[in-house]
Amino acid sequence: MQTATVGSGAPAIAPPSGESASRRDALVDPRALAQRPAGQGLVPRWLQRLLGPALLLAAWHLLASADIFDPRTTPAPLTVLRTAAGLAASGVLLDNLLASLQLVVKGLALGLSVGLAAAVVAGLSRAGENIVDANMEILRAIPNFALLPILIAWFGIDDVSKVLLIALHVIVCVYINTYSAIRNVDAGLIEAARTFGVKRRELIATVILPGALPGFLIGLRLALTGAWLSLIFAETINAPIGLGRMMSDAREYFRVDIIFVLLAVYALLGLLSLASVRYLEARLLTWRRAFDGA
C-alpha cells in the first residue's frame, strides 16, 4: 500500500531513487517491527538454558571419538559416565559424598548461626558494632586457607578443623551481607514505624530483619558456594574418607576418569546449592516477586 503525502511540497533532499522514495512513504505495521519477548517457545526456559552445556558435551564427545584427545588425559564423556555408574553401584561414591556432605552441613550450621548472630548484634547496637565489626573485617582480610595451619595446630587434623574452616568462610559471607543489609534498611520505614508506636522488639521483628532478608540471602548464596570450595581445600590436607580423599587417590593412581567424575559431582553440588537458595528466595521474598511480575 502506498500513501501519498498531500500538500507537503517537494522533499528538501531528493531521495536517491524512485523505488526507495515509495518505500520511505509507505506505512508499516509496527507490530511487525516490535521486538518479540525472547524465549517464549514450546521448550521450557530451564531446558533452553541447558543448551550451552549440552553443546559443550557434544563437542567433547565428538573430539574424543575422533581421537583428537588423548584418552589418558581426557577420557570420553561415556567413559566418565561408566566410571560414575561403577562408583555409584559399589557405594564408594555415596559413602564419600555423605562424609563430605556431613562436614559441609556442620560447617554451614555453625557458620550460619554465628554469622547471623554477629550480624544482628553488630547491626542493631553501636556497642555490638564496636566489638564485632572490626574483628570481622580482619577475619575477612585474612585468606581463610591461611588459617588452616593454625586450625590444625589447635584442633588436630580430624573433622573439627575442617568444619571450622568451612564455618569461618560461611561466617564472613553471612556476616558481611547481613550486617550491611541491616544497616541499610530504609530509615524512612523505621521512622514511620516508630511514629505508629512500634516498640523496639516489634521493630526488629517486623521492620529490620525482614528488610535485611534479601541481603542475608545473598550472603547465604555466597556462603554455600564458598563452603564447597573450603571443603575441597580442607580435604586435601588429610581425610580418611570424603570426596577430597577420592580426588587425591585418583590423582595418585592417575585415574583421570575418576577426577572427571568428581569434577562433575562438585559442579552438581554447587548447582544444587544455588537452586536451594533460589527456592528459599522464591518462598521468602514473595512480596518482591509480586513486584517483578507486575
Partner 1 sequence: MAPDPIYAGRLAVAAHGLAKDFGAQPILRDLSLEIERGEFVALLGRSGSGKSTFLRVLGALDGDVRGDIRVPRQRAIVFQDPRLLPWQRVLRNVLLGLPRDAGTRTRALAALEEVGLSHRVNAWPRTLSGGEAQRVALARALVREPELLLLDEPFGALDALTRIRMHKLLRDLYRRHRPAVLLVTHDVDEAIMLAERVLVLGDGRISLNLRVDIPGPRHHADPRFGALRERLLRELGVDSD
The footprint of partner 1 (CB under 8 A) covers 188-189, 191-199, 202, 206-207, 210-211, 213, 285-288, 290-291, 294
Nearest to partner 1 of 72, 199 (CB atom): 199
Nearest to partner 1 of 86, 214 (CB atom): 214
Minimum CB separation of residue 208 from partner 1 in Å reads 11
Nearest to partner 1 of 77, 214 (CB atom): 214
Minimum CB separation of residue 188 from partner 1 in Å reads 5
Phi, psi of 269 (to 5 degrees): -60, -45
Minimum CB separation of residue 212 from partner 1 in Å reads 11
Four-point Cα dihedral 128, 129, 131, 135, nearest 10: 140
Q: Positive or negative, the Cα torsion across 181, 187, 189, 193?
A: positive
- Spatial CB neighbours of 228, under 8 Å, sequence gap ≥ 6: 104, 266, 269, 270, 273
DSSP state of 109: H
Q: Positive or negative, the Cα torsion across 58, 63, 67, 72?
A: negative
Nearest to partner 1 of 36, 201 (CB atom): 201
Minimum CB separation of residue 220 from partner 1 in Å reads 17
Nearest to partner 1 of 8, 195 (CB atom): 195
Nearest to partner 1 of 45, 289 (CB atom): 289
Cβ–Cβ < 8 Å for 252, 203: no
Q: From the CB of residue 88, how many other CB atoms can be counted at a distance below 10 Å?
A: 13
Minimum CB separation of residue 290 from partner 1 in Å reads 4
Nine cell digits for residue 240: 580418611
Minimum CB separation of residue 209 from partner 1 in Å reads 10
* Cα–Cα distances in angstroms (integers) from residue 290 to residues 205, 212, 285, 293, in the given order: 22, 18, 9, 5
